[in-house]
Amino acid sequence: MNTEILINLVYVVAAVLFILGLKLLGSPATARKGNLVSSAGMFIAVVVTLLDQNIIEFQYIIVGIVIGTLIGAVVARKVEMTSMPEMVALFNGFGGLASLFVGWAALSIALVTATVINPVSAFTLITIFLSILIGGLTFTGSLLAYGKLSERISGRPFVYSGQRIVNSAILIAVVVCAGLFIQDPSDANWLYLAVALSLVLGVMFVLPIGGADMPVVISLLNSFSGIAAAAAGFAIGNILLIVAGSLVGASGIILTNIMCKAMNRSLSNVLFSGFGAVKVSSAAEIEQGEVKPMSAEDAYYVLEAATSVVVIPGYGMAVAQAQHVVKELQELLEENGAEVVYAIHPVAGRMPGHMNVLLAEADVPYDLLLEMDQINPRMETFDVAIIIGANDVVNPAAREIESSPIYGMPVINADQARTVFVLKRSMASGFAGIDNPLFFKDNTRMLFGDAKETLSNLVKSFD
């Protein structure tokens, strides 16, 4: 068996591991195993690819591997769960930047080896251009998403008159640059201009998107990074990079579609940056009244008599790092004879699956994590709904107020439970900046303060 056949067989094994890992990532119960399987596939792919290339010197590659390993290890150990969404955004961005550099390097090699008789093919130039374009867009778009998620810049949508016209003009200019570049690849000025435009387009793509819609953006940018990697694979003729990039791109698009449905947005709306501009509901349309605060001691008596409890987590639970205390309260309620389940909205938190990750960290059984479509038909049967730091995903304005920015968005109907406890630090609006009439409803009680401290007091009351 010659070397080329052996390498291709190993590529097939790595591709199978990628697919198997992706399948395992589809369930919280097997996600960790899926991550390890995919990592093993990538390790095999990298090693075989290095052996397959005519590399003269490995020292720079070894230095890069060491530096990357150290950074990855430090980040994995130090990053807080509250910072996980912005870290994912950064990883997406660097993946896009890597594809940009791979495409650029492939172009340099192609131009050097090209001859008059055997010029660079149009297909190669197109794939190189796509890897550079999508990679640049992903890089700057992810950096901006990182800034919004980390609140280093405002998470509010930035919308101005004629925004779609400007974005369309940039996109048309990129297409023109692509045509001129493919016609004469030796003239690098068109490529430089296209790179600059792609970087600008990434910023313009994310600017009009509000912070509450970031789960959709994270998913879409992840898909873009995969598409850029697949294009880079075509550019350098690496089959495994094409497979890996295609898997990431396809799975990202599927997840984006799921996120869009959860946000009541169309995919075309996302792609053309149309969902940052939303109508603002007037204060008169928001149900107002006096909030009814309650102490943890009084809440204990309600929970002690409850036979069914649903916990609805949000980003506030991540900020308070309250997932472990939630698990303690769940166990005490179950010992008291109550049924306890968790209602997970697809876009709760600031990235897809954020709440699942937090609760998995606290060893909450996976079969207790119910999706929105499973929990809503049962909501009226629950004695108590405990909302921990969630706001927009339980906002009844999505059903009741047509002028609300989130009107039509599927939400968890927490207000239909017999009693609703809302754990919040204050009456501040959620990440979308929208008031929530749930707080003023007759069956709602507000437990103000740090969620972890409030839950700890509830746990102590049971003891």
Residues 230 and 261 occupy one common structural domain? yes
Name the more confident of 401 and 308. Answer: 308
**What's the number of domains the chain is made of?**
2
Domain end, chosen from 271, 303, 333, is at: 271
Please check whether residues 236 and 290 belong to one and the same domain. no
The pLDDT tens digits for 165-207 are: 888 899 899 989 988 988 888 787 888 898 899 999 898 888 8
pLDDT score, position 204: 87
| Together in a domain, 106 and 195 | yes
* Residue 240 included in any domain: yes
- CATH classification of the domain holding 330: 3.40.50.1220
Which residues make Cβ contacts (< 8 Å) with residue 197, sequence separation at least 6? 170, 173, 174, 177
| Residues 297, 227 share a domain | no
* Residue that terminates a domain, selected from 271, 306, 335: 271
pLDDT tens for each residue of 351-395: 778 888 888 888 898 889 999 999 999 999 999 999 998 888 899
Confidence of residue 274 (pLDDT cuts 50, 70, 90): very low
HEC sequence for 34-80:
HHHHHHHHHHHHHHHHHHHCCCCCCHHHHHHHHHHHHHHHHHHHHCC
Decide if 104 is inside a domain: yes
Residues 218 and 291 in one domain: no
183 vs 53, 122, 123, 136, CA distance in Å?
A: 30, 9, 12, 22
For the whole model, what pTM was predicted?
A: 0.77
Q: What is the structure's pLDDT at 284?
A: 44
Q: What order do you get walking across the sheet with 308-313 strand by strand?
A: 369-371, 339-344, 308-313, 384-388, 419-424, 444-448
Residue 114 structure tokens: 């090209």
Instruction: Indicate if 184 belongs to the active site.
Output: no
Closest Cα partner for 264 from 425, 404, 60, 429? 404
Of 86, 157, 92, 147, give the one whose Cα is nearest residue 315.
Answer: 86
Final residue belonging to a domain, choices 271, 295, 329: 271
Dig out the tokens for 119 from the structure: 């010029």
Q: Say if residue 205 is exposed, middle or buried (CB neighbours under 10 Å; 0-12, 13-18, 19+).
A: buried
> Domain span at residue 318?
283-462
Q: What pLDDT was estimated at residue 283?
A: 44
Q: Select which of 213, 392, 415, 435 is catalytic.
A: 392
3-state secondary structure of 165: helix
Mean pLDDT of 26-39: 85
CA distance 451 to 168: 45
- Is residue 32 included in any domain, yes or no? no
326 shares its domain with 244? no
40 domain-assigned? no
444 and 345 in a common domain: yes
Task: Let me know whether 211 and 311 are in one domain.
Answer: no
Distances in Å between the Cα of 446 and the Cα atoms of 40, 144, 342 are 48, 34, 19
Q: What confidence tens digit (pLDDT) does each residue in 252-269 have?
A: 888 888 878 777 767 666
Span 286-301, average pLDDT? 81
107 shares its domain with 255: yes
Residue 70 inside a domain? The answer is: no
